[in-house]
Amino acid sequence: MAKKSQKMAELRELSDADLAKELEDAHRQLFTARLQLSTRQLANTSLARQVRRRIARIKTLQRERELVAQYEAASAAEAE
């Protein structure tokens, strides 16, 4: 359980631009892992699953930030 929270903590420290770059890199890794898996070159068969989960973590964090921004905008508009 601690490993998951560590991974999310590391991702939370990144800026939005860095998160987008991490997401792009993760998609490339997933493509490479799938290709190697299909050609039987991949020794670590769980790599694709790990990368998919990393993609999910990044997208979750991006969505959280998007919702916070929407909430703050709504709160600011309500205060005026």
What's the domain count of the chain?
1
Calculate the CA dihedral of residues 58, 47, 2, 24 and round it to 10 degrees. -20
6 lies in some domain: no
For position 46, which CATH number holds? 1.10.287
Closest CA to 58 of 2, 1, 14: 14
- Distance of alpha carbon 26 from the chain centroid: 8
Q: pLDDT category, 79, cuts 50, 70, 90?
A: confident
pLDDT tens profile 27-64: 999 999 999 999 999 889 899 999 999 999 999 999 99
Domain that holds residue 34: 15-79
As a three-state string, the secondary structure of 51-67 is: HHHHHHHHHHHHHHHHH
> Does residue 10 lie in a domain region?
no
45 in any annotated domain: yes
